Amino acid sequence: MNNLLITLGGILTGTGFMTMIFGFESKTSTANLSTSFSEAGYTGLDQWGITTTGQIGLGLVIVGIISMAIANRVIWKETDGY
């Protein structure tokens, strides 16, 4: 069961990272922030926002990491650390 939980956690974490690629957008314009220096300045980080897709991706990453950590803790206790 724990091996399945580690595998599922890895899949969830990877899916979450891939989902977060498309989970951010510019708050000021529809132009690409990397090419619109006149609107964003040289540091446009304060003009980025997270979308619903980004929130779902972040949730998937958190759930995946937690499930892998729990499964690893159980396996570690069952084998006395080996």
The predicted-structure confidence for 27-79, as pLDDT tens digits, reads as follows 766 555 555 556 666 666 677 778 899 899 999 999 999 999 999 999 888 88
Instruction: Please give the residue range of the domain that contains residue 13.
Output: 2-25+45-78
What pLDDT shows up at residue 68?
95
- Sign of the Cα torsion 59, 62, 64, 67 reads negative
- Tell me how many domains the chain contains: 1
Establish if 67 belongs to a structural domain.
yes
Q: Is 42 exposed, middle or buried (0-12, 13-18, 19+ CB in 10 A)?
A: exposed
- Where residue 26 falls among pLDDT bands split at 50, 70, 90? confident
Establish if 33 belongs to a structural domain.
no
Both tokens of 82, joined, read 């080996």
Establish if 32 belongs to a structural domain.
no
Establish if 35 belongs to a structural domain.
no
pTM for the whole structure: 0.76
CA angle 20, 21, 24 (to 5 degrees): 75
Establish if 34 belongs to a structural domain.
no
Beta-carbon contacts of 75 under 8 Å, excluding residues fewer than 6 positions away, are 2, 6
Give the whole-angstrom CA distance, residue 82 versus residue 31.
53
What pLDDT shows up at residue 43?
65
